[in-house]
């Protein structure tokens, strides 16, 4: 029998958690047609996978590529790391549905919450849609290198019906019916579920709470019933104001959504914290009854390095003095406040009360200068505050941070090692089956964070170097587990009849760095952080080689995944 592709002599790790085995894999018409010790049929293309692992393509269930799919068909950095399916529309924010008159509000939500620059969105968004189903159809027409799954983000659905009132109040009964109808149409068209937020850190247009946060319990109940009545879809929920320090209110909200929808709920997020060393494991125990019912927390397997710039200090967005006096204010106002000893004392007090940030600012080596604009300060790039403090004879990290920022007209960018810094505790979290490994945030915070390499980081760091799990377990964590949770059918496993989404990698070299690299490749030449992959040889999507020996082949065989 003639095949489109045969992968010869690889070691198959099939995504189920079962032991690896050596086999050939034959592909025809986008599907896995045969698996055997020695497939003898002919094929248009043969890939030699000797000494390499053949695994299902990785599934990234938490991204913000909603805008980037308009200008980047490769969906980078995720696709470089063996990811063959991404889920968009996370955190209750996205670009559809959207009427022409609401585009400024929609774009501002992405700029304020997900730190995608306004100029990039202006240059790159094609706006060839209005409704959510037409947004999915536009993506299908545009084509992509990898598969795209979509969550329906609640914020633009409320904008669609309520206009700017969505930022101020709950929906009326009539508005609620219209929003629920639009959501039902989206799920019926194949959206994987909906996303929303109840977290006080989620700020959108004009620095106001993201519109989905204004939804009443009656609204949320109605949206849950859309999934319940259709019998499909999941909810993704931004729940945690303080990771690993969850409140009774947050427990109640998660329980409410599970009860009303009868569907799984993936909640965000759970991290290891230095100031609460047992917080993550205690939270898993506290939420165990809801986790057993499908209320599963998303975790990151990487250290969380947050970029900080003092013009848009998202790290401090929960601090009242920053929300009210700094955020979205003119440069000269911000500079005056940062110089003011009284304002500095207010910020310092709020850092002390936050706990989570306190440990960071007591460890000067946790904060480093990532980029500067002033050529006279270029020698500081790559140095942490401990090194700079020694050079300048300074001892206070917070004052030094503000003074450095002011020297560079608030252009200087810092990188802060905030969460997931303790390897032993993070390793326990990563291997815990009660969690879902995710949180790449691909497409968001474009010059601040790039965790899109988490799949290769898991395999290189936690499987090979730290040995906290077997290769079979590691592959399962990033293939069949997210695919099953989000209802992505026929993907996430290697078996006859499954979609031929495959990644071929070297287990001895696979991995990625802890910090990304800066490129100026966004629309208009804007900057973004990217994360390069190591050890990924070939990536196959729907039976077509998208990457060969790490190089993009230029094809776009990705599909829009529909529930």
3-state secondary structure of 369: strand
Domain with residue 205: its CATH number is 3.20.20.140
Report d(CA 486, CA 11) in Å as an integer: 27
445, 461, 492 — which closes off a domain?
492
Whether 498 is covered by a domain: the verdict is no
| 299 has a pLDDT exceeding 70 | yes
Looking at the structure, tell me whether residues 122 and 250 fall in a common domain.
yes
pLDDT band for position 163 (cuts 50, 70, 90) = very high
Between these two residues, 394 and 206, which has the higher pLDDT value? 394
Tell me the mean pLDDT in the region 179-185: 98
Looking at the structure, tell me whether residues 139 and 263 fall in a common domain.
yes
- Residue 324 to residues 52, 181, 375, 451: CA-CA distances in angstroms? 54, 36, 32, 30
In terms of Cα–Cα distance, which of 402, 401, 374 is closest to 385? 401
Q: How many CA atoms lie within 13 A of 419 on its CB side?
A: 24
Measured in degrees and rounded to the nearest 5, phi and psi for residue 5 equal: -155, 140
Looking at the structure, tell me whether residues 41 and 66 fall in a common domain.
no
Whether 497 is covered by a domain: the verdict is no
Tell me the mean pLDDT in the region 6-23: 98
Q: How far is CA 469 from the centre of its chain?
A: 23
Tell me the mean pLDDT in the region 406-435: 94
Looking at the structure, tell me whether residues 379 and 475 fall in a common domain.
no
pLDDT band for position 356 (cuts 50, 70, 90) = low
Whether 562 is covered by a domain: the verdict is no
Looking at the structure, tell me whether residues 118 and 263 fall in a common domain.
yes
| 359 has a pLDDT exceeding 80 | no
Looking at the structure, tell me whether residues 87 and 196 fall in a common domain.
yes
Q: Which of 57-61, 207-211, 246-250, 339-343 has the lowest mean pLDDT?
A: 207-211
Whether 319 is covered by a domain: the verdict is yes
Looking at the structure, tell me whether residues 8 and 64 fall in a common domain.
no
Residues 6+ apart with CB under 8 A from 450: 77, 516, 528, 529, 530, 531
Domain with residue 518: its CATH number is 2.30.40.10
Looking at the structure, tell me whether residues 87 and 226 fall in a common domain.
yes
pLDDT band for position 420 (cuts 50, 70, 90) = very high
Could you read off the pLDDT of 506-537 as tens digits, one per residue? 999 999 987 788 899 999 999 898 999 999 99
Whether 499 is covered by a domain: the verdict is no
Could you read off the pLDDT of 248-277 as tens digits, one per residue? 999 999 999 999 999 999 999 999 998 899
pLDDT band for position 192 (cuts 50, 70, 90) = very high
Whether 281 is covered by a domain: the verdict is yes
Looking at the structure, tell me whether residues 250 and 121 fall in a common domain.
yes
* Averaged confidence pLDDT in the chain: 95
Contact 59, 483 (CB under 8 A): yes
| 422 has a pLDDT exceeding 70 | yes
3-state DSSP of 124-190: HCCCCCCCHHHHHHHHHHHCCCCEEEECEEHHHHHHHHHHHHHHCCCCCHHHHHHHHHHHHHHHHCC
DSSP state of 203: B
Whether 504 is covered by a domain: the verdict is no
Give the pair of three-digit tokens for residue 359.
């440990």
510: which strand partners? Answer: none
| pLDDT number for residue 95 | 98
Looking at the structure, tell me whether residues 237 and 291 fall in a common domain.
yes
Tell me the mean pLDDT in the region 160-187: 97
| pLDDT number for residue 449 | 81
Looking at the structure, tell me whether residues 209 and 232 fall in a common domain.
yes
492, 523, 548 — which closes off a domain?
492
Q: How many domains does the chain have?
A: 3
Could you read off the pLDDT of 381-404 as tens digits, one per residue? 989 999 999 999 998 888 999 999
The residue segments making up the domain with residue 73 are 59-303+420-492
- DSSP letter string over 232-275? --EEEEE--SSTT---HHHHHHHHHHHHHH-S-EEEEEE---SS
Looking at the structure, tell me whether residues 414 and 457 fall in a common domain.
no
Measured in degrees and rounded to the nearest 5, phi and psi for residue 419 equal: -135, 165
């Amino acid at each position: 029998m003639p095949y489109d592709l045969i992968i010869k002599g690889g070691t198959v790790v099939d995504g189920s958690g079962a032991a690896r085995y050596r086999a050939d894999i034959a592909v025809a018409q986008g599907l896995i047609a045969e698996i055997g010790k020695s497939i003898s049929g002919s094929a248009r293309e043969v890939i030699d996978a000797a000494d390499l692992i053949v695994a299902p393509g990785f599934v990234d269930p938490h991204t913000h590529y909603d805008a980037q799919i308009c200008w980047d068909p490769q969906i980078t950095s995720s696709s470089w790391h063996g990811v063959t399916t991404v889920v968009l529309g996370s955190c209750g924010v996205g670009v559809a549905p959207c009427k022409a008159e609401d585009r400024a509000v929609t774009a501002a939500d992405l700029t304020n919450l997900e730190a995608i620059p306004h100029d990039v969105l202006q240059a790159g968004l094609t706006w060839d849609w209005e409704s959510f189903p037409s947004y999915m159809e536009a993506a299908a027409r545009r084509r992509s290198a990898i598969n795209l799954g979509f969550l329906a983000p609640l914020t633009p659905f409320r904008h669609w019906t309520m206009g700017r009132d969505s930022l101020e109040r709950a929906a009326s009964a009539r508005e609620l019916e219209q929003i629920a109808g639009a959501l039902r149409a989206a799920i019926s068209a194949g959206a994987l579920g909906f996303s929303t937020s109840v977290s006080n850190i989620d700020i959108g247009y004009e620095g106001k709470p993201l519109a989905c946060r204004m939804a009443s319990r009656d609204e949320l109940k109605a949206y849950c019933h859309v999934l319940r009545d259709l019998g499909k879809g999941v909810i993704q929920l931004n729940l945690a104001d303080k990771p690993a320090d969850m409140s009774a209110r947050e427990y109640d909200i998660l329980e409410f959504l599970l009860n009303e929808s009868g569907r799984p709920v993936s909640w965000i997020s759970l991290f290891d914290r230095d100031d609460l060393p047992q917080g993550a494991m205690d939270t898993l125990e506290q939420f165990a009854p809801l986790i057993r019912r499908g209320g599963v927390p998303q975790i990151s397997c990487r250290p969380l390095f947050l970029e900080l710039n003092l013009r848009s200090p998202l790290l401090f967005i929960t601090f009242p003095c920053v929300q009210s006096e700094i955020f979205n204010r003119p440069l000269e106002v911000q500079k005056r406040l940062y110089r003011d000893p009284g304002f500095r004392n207010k910020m310092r007090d709020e850092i002390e009360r936050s706990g989570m940030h306190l440990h960071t600012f007591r460890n000067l080596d946790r904060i480093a200068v990532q980029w500067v604009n002033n050529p006279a300060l270029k020698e500081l790039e790559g140095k942490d505050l401990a090194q700079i403090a020694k050079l300048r004879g300074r001892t206070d990290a917070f004052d030094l941070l503000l003074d450095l920022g002011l020297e560079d007209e608030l252009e200087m960018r810092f990188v802060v090692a905030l969460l997931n810094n303790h390897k032993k505790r993070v390793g326990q979290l990563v291997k815990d089956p009660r969690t879902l490994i995710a949180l790449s945030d691909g497409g968001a915070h474009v010059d601040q964070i790039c965790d899109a390499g988490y799949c290769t980081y898991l395999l290189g760091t936690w499987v090979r170097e730290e040995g906290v799990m077997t290769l079979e377990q590691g592959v399962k964590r990033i293939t069949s587990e997210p695919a099953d949770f989000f209802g992505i059918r026929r993907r996430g496993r290697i078996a006859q009849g499954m979609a031929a989404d495959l990644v071929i990698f070297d287990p001895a070299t696979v991995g990625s760095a802890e910090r990304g690299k800066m490129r100026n490749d966004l629309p208009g030449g804007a900057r973004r952080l990217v994360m390069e992959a190591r050890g990924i040889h070939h990536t196959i999507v729907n039976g077509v080689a998208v990457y060969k020996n790490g190089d993009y082949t230029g094809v776009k065989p990705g599909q829009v995944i529909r529930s």
